[in-house]
């Protein structure tokens, strides 16, 4: 039986802005684009959420809902620095840390020697340290698998903690609306509703064959989560098998110039991280996530290694040109893999 913690920072981007600018504290704040243009809300402070404003909403709509809203542009470099600081705190308690984004991560503390091996006490200690070192609050979910830990972290936000024990798991899932399950999107929720499935108990009582026939491989996943089964391990990149960076656009786009420029920026960040870890890479991969959340990747390997970030520009452009362009793009990323220690890497040829 695993002990899994999910740490989720509270309104992370907005909280960082309020911390760094006291005049914004207690104010209805939006981190995002131009409210007079086509900007999108990247983060919304808790003060503005009561007006119905949330992330991914257009900034124009946010201003309609809350005319007194304050808009600030994102500072992603600052958010990355704070995220690294938070990550370092987590690694004090376990090497098994799996970041999901800048503001959330899973931790496996099954074998952690700290706090008498109590996952709840460890989660609270981490939250205390984050607050003390960054002046930011975090919420935590504690359970015996990743799915339930992530759901639990939403239950007492902001600045709260929730625990779902193995004894509570099945009853908790039974009463959970299917729209609350992570991995079940709006379109799938409608399909489940059309089948008469509204809660975890409804999902549990639906034969696995019926779910598989309707949803394919995802049907097996739905059947398992309805029974509280989630055997996914917390995957930590301790061996640095790959180094990457990705970003989500404030607004989905099909503009090739914008997309390639974003890929170059993420390549720059990934290459900097590669240098920090003293690695060379022979393989580069671009990741494209479309507006329907489907993902495609394209990779290329070279015989030597990428010596500087601009070495990858040609291949990024080439790989992107060979990806489908049927839907607007939501997210792009660049990852380096096939890594070598810097001192073990072969010399680049002179010509």
Complete DSSP assignment for 63-100? HHH-TT-EEE---HHHHHHHHHHHHHHHHTT-S-EEEE
Helix segments in the chain, DSSP class H: 12-20, 46-49, 59-65, 76-91, 119-134, 146-153, 166-174, 186-194, 200-204, 208-215, 217-226, 256-276, 313-321
CA separation for the pair 94, 105 (Å, rounded): 12
Q: What tokens does 246 get?
A: 């990705």
The larger pLDDT score, comparing residue 345 to residue 129, is at 129
- C-beta atoms surrounding 167 within 10 Å: 9
Mean pLDDT of the chain: 90
Alpha carbons 5 and 106: distance in angstroms, whole number: 6
Each residue's pLDDT tens digit, 8-39: 999 999 999 999 999 999 999 999 988 887 77
**Dihedral sign from CA coordinates of 34, 37, 38, 44:** positive
Length of the chain measured in residues: 351
How does pLDDT run across 103-159, given as a tens digit for each residue?
A: 999 999 999 999 999 999 999 999 999 999 999 999 999 999 999 999 999 999 999
Please say if 233 is a catalytic residue.
Answer: no
- 281-294 confidence digits (pLDDT tens): 989 999 999 988 88
How far is residue 35's CA from residue 30's CA, in Å, rounded to a whole number?
Answer: 10
Region 50-56: mean pLDDT is 91
Give the pLDDT confidence of 143-199 residue by residue, as tens digits: 999 999 999 999 999 999 999 999 999 999 999 999 999 878 888 999 999 999 999
Listed residue (250, 252, 203, 199) closest to 224, CA to CA: 203
Pairing verdict, β 161-163 and 41-44: unpaired
**Per residue in 56-70, pLDDT tens?**
888 999 999 999 999
Is there a contact between 28 and 41 (Cβ–Cβ < 8 Å)? no
pLDDT digits (tens, 9 = 90+) for 196-234: 999 999 999 999 999 999 998 889 989 999 999 999 999
Pairing relationship of beta strands 70-72 and 138-143 according to DSSP bridges: unpaired
Is the separation of the CB atoms in 307 and 348 below 8 Å?
Answer: yes
- State the Cα–Cα distance between residues 158 and 47, nearest whole angstrom: 12
- Rounded to whole angstroms, the Cα distance separating 52 from 46 reads 10
State the Cα–Cα distance between residues 248 and 139, nearest whole angstrom: 23
- pLDDT value of residue 48: 96
Binning pLDDT at 50, 70 and 90, where does residue 331 land? very high
Question: Three-class SS string for 15-42?
Answer: HHHHHHCHHHCCCCEEEECCCCCCCEEE
The whole-number pLDDT of residue 344 equals 42
The catalytically annotated residue of 47, 104, 246, 309 is 104
């Amino acid at each position: 039986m695993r002990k899994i913690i999910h740490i989720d920072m509270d309104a992370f981007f907005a909280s960082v802005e309020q911390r760094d600018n006291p005049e914004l504290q207690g104010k209805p704040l939006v981190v995002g684009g131009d409210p007079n243009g086509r900007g999108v809300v990247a983060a919304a402070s808790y003060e503005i959420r009561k007006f119905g404003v949330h992330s991914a909403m257009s900034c124009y709509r946010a201003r309609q809902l809350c005319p007194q809203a304050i808009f600030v542009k994102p500072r992603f470099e600052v958010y990355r620095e704070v995220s690294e600081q938070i990550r370092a705190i987590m690694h004090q308690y376990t090497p098994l840390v799996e970041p999901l984004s800048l503001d959330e991560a899973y931790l496996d503390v099954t074998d952690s020697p700290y706090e008498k091996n109590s996952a709840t006490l460890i989660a609270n200690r981490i939250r205390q340290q984050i607050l003390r070192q960054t002046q930011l609050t975090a919420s935590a979910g504690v359970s015996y698998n990743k799915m339930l830990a992530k759901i639990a972290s939403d239950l007492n936000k902001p600045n709260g903690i929730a625990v779902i024990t193995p004894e509570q798991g099945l009853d908790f899932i039974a009463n959970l609306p299917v729209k609350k399950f992570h991995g079940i999107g709006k379109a799938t929720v409608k399909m489940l509703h059309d089948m008469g499935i509204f809660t975890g108990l409804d999902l549990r009582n639906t034969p696995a064959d019926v779910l598989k026939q309707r949803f394919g491989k995802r049907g097996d996943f739905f059947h398992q989560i309805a029974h509280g089964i989630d055997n996914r391990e917390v995957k930590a990149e301790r061996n640095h098998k790959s180094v990457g960076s990705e970003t989500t656009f404030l607004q989905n786009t099909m503009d090739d110039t914008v997309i390639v420029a974003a890929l170059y920026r993420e390549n720059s960040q990934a290459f900097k991280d590669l240098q920090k870890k003293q690695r060379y890479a022979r393989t580069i991969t671009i990741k494209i996530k479309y507006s329907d959340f489907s993902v495609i990747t394209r990779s290329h390997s070279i015989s030597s290694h990428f010596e500087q970030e601009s070495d990858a520009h040609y291949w990024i452009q080439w790989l992107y040109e060979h990806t489908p362009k049927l839907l607007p793009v939501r997210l792009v990323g660049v990852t380096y893999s096939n890594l070598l220690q810097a001192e073990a890497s072969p010399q680049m040829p002179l010509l």
